[in-house]
Chain A
Amino acid sequence: MFRKLFKYDMRYIARFWWILALTAIGASFMGSFVLRYLISNFLNSDVSFAIKFMAINFLAVVAITIIAAFIVTQIFIYVRYYKHFFTDEGYLTFTLPVSRRDLLLSKMVNAFFWTVASYLLSFLCVLIFAIFSPPAEIGGPFINPIVFEKIGNAIVVAWKESGLGLIIFAVLWLATQTFSLIYSISLGYFCIALGSTIAKKHKIMLAIGLYYAISIAVSIVKNYLQTLFVTIIPDGLDVYLEGASDATVFFAEVIVTAIPCCMMAALAFAAYSATRTCIERKLNLA
């Protein structure tokens, strides 16, 4: 049954997402050529200011389109969740012969999938800019690989300095980002569920208010922790590991990178559990 739920949740977003994706990709193509023109002619006094101004405005519109593709996806994810669970449709949803666990998990996996897809879409748009924006060199090919050369050089330098460590740090970073995303989605779901449980009117307003209040409180703590992880802790490691072997230093660095991952995992599980509690025990559709 989970599969069916997931299929319908996916379909709901896929119905319009491809339009968003095509618009963002198309805008990126056009934007990258406009940027290429602008880079080549910015100091050219033969090109009028009006054309340059229009080109800059067009780039702003492209940027807004790409950002909007991401934001609209998020809005639809939460709208789907809210409508399916907390409006009149919710009566029907909760009469289905499916556990609430599956209902929530389906929404969760769906949100995770489309959020990752949105990130990949944004990355693809940036990639299009990186490929087509740099003007060609005199006598060189149409596509100037300067951005990729710089990225490649940076990776080579990082590989030389960190070696296999680079992969370990990349995996830890990816895990932290995954938990961070689960936490973020769960928090959104939790706030909608709580807002709908507490309030009889203005449920969405309350949910948004709760989301901002909790997000701000958590981000204050997170920022403080991040400050610690880039100031006091590296200083402490430098002092206490002075003279230690390279392997010990590397191991300590891996641990220091893994701890935020665990923190994020705890936060993500807590947010998900709280949402489930709300959906299973506190839901009041009356």
Chain B
Amino acid sequence: MKLDFKRISCILLLICILALSVFASDYIDWELSDDGRTLMADDTVYNRYYTSHSFYEWADNVYEFLDYVNHPGGFFADVSSYAKDNEFVWISDDDGLIIFVKEGCDGVLEDFFSGEKVSYRMIDTQNRETNMDSDFVNAVFAGTETLNTDVTKLVAYPCYEISAHDEKCCFAYDIGAIYELPDGYYSLDFRTLGNEHFDSDGFFSYRSGSVDLVKVDAALTYEIEKSISSLDYRDTEYMWESEDAVYIEEPEEDDGFSAGRFRAVCIFFGIVLPLAVMIFGAVMANSKKLGKPKYWYSVTVAAGIWLLLSVVLAFLLI
């Protein structure tokens, strides 16, 4: 009896130790200061990055940290970055996206917002995108022939926005757009427009006013159409904080529908298996050594209904 007690105690102790090990994880603990200016990641300090530039999240890779930030606004916010070892992270609240950057590591963001080190992409209204090189972007805006247009009419034409992206491919802002008008492609450089053309979030507004569109050189038509045809949906790769950074959104392998496999499954589970169960039930019912036949016959009847239903289903599918 004593031995049993010892064994049980050891098992309970082991369970307790194992349970404790669950909590002994090394996930980063995030803490946002009450004034919202400093974000602590264990011992690492991130300072809020202020910019007057409007921008939005357009990330190729998102590394989601496990623990949330307890936001002073009374909610929990996810902390995201492009990698676990990073120069900056971001959270979002009612004011939009907020970036926090490690001290002395704001170079990537400075280069991005100043437009010095950016890559360009064309994005259509369905959020499909394709890369554009800077020479191509400059050439699109470099035309001389202009067309003054009411923006409320412009909204009806196919539009391909040109956006600038940072070195780490996390954020973007729109620098202009290409419009497909009946007589060709026209571009509009947002950087040359006044504040009245943008809404409160900094996005180009089609509410009122007029703009000067620039006619894109006909020699660039082929390049533009090539870009349009190569537009594709963005495939953001999400990672979840853990020791091995396990992917949480792996692209699903679409192996397609196989008629042969479907038929094989139907035949096996719809005909072969119920037949086998029917025979098993009948054999058991007639075996004098194995109890009363009544319930074994019930097995046969249930399998019979199963078989019948499968046959009806087969007729429906033919």
Contact = CB atoms under 8 A, between A and B. Distances in A.
Interface of A: 43, 101, 225, 228, 232-233, 235-237, 239-241, 244, 248, 251-252, 255-256, 258-259, 262-263, 265-266, 269-270, 272-273, 276-277, 280-281
A255 B309 CA distance: 6
Contacts of B75: 43
A109 B297 CA distance: 21
A273 B302 contact: no
Given A241-B317, A252-B313, A232 B262 contact: yes
Nearest to B277: A266
7 contacts: A236-B257, A240-B317, A259-B310, A266-B277, A266-B281, A273-B291, A276-B295
Contacts of B70: 43
A233 B317 contact: no
Given A43-B70, A232-B261, A236-B265, 16 more contacts: A225-B269, A228-B265, A232-B265, A233-B262, A236-B257, A236-B259, A237-B317, A252-B316, A258-B309, A262-B305, A262-B309, A266-B277, A269-B298, A269-B299, A277-B291, A281-B291
Contacts of A225: 269
A118 to B, nearest CB: 25
Contacts of A232: 261-262, 265
Nearest to B273: A263
B261 A262 contact: no
B289 A266 contact: no
A276 B266 contact: no
Contacts of B306: 259, 262-263, 266
A276 B292 CA distance: 8
Nearest to B261: A232
B303 interface: yes
A252 B317 contact: yes
Interface residues of B, number: 34
B313 A265 contact: no
Interface in B66-104: 70, 74-75
A17 B263 CA distance: 50
Given A236-B266, A273-B284, A262 B302 contact: yes
Nearest to B303: A266
A228 B289 CA distance: 37
Contact of A281 (B274, B290, B296): B290
Interface of B: 70, 74-75, 257, 259, 261-262, 265-266, 269-270, 274, 277, 280-281, 284, 289-292, 295-296, 298-299, 302-303, 305-306, 309-310, 312-313, 316-317
Chain B at the A interface: SS class: helix
B315 to A, nearest CB: 10
A280 B292 CA distance: 9
Contacts of A263: 302, 306
A202 to B, nearest CB: 14
Contacts of B298: 265, 269, 273
A22 B281 CA distance: 44
Contacts of A266: 274, 277, 281, 299, 302-303, 306
A23 to B, nearest CB: 23
B275 to A, nearest CB: 12
A237 to B, nearest CB: 8
A18 B103 CA distance: 64
Contacts of A240: 317
A267 to B, nearest CB: 8
Contacts of A244: 316
Contacts of B291: 273, 276-277, 280-281
A101 B292 contact: yes
A281 B289 contact: yes
A101 B295 CA distance: 11
Contacts of A233: 262, 265-266
A248 B312 CA distance: 11
Contacts of A255: 309-310, 312-313, 316
Nearest to A235: B257
A124 B1 CA distance: 40
B306 to A, nearest CB: 4
Nearest to B292: A276
B257 A239 contact: yes
A225 B266 CA distance: 11
A259 B310 CA distance: 8
A277 B288 CA distance: 11
Contacts of B303: 262, 266
Contacts of B284: 273
A118 B289 CA distance: 37
Contact of B309 (A43, A259, A281): A259
A255 B261 CA distance: 20
B262 A269 contact: no
A248 B70 CA distance: 53
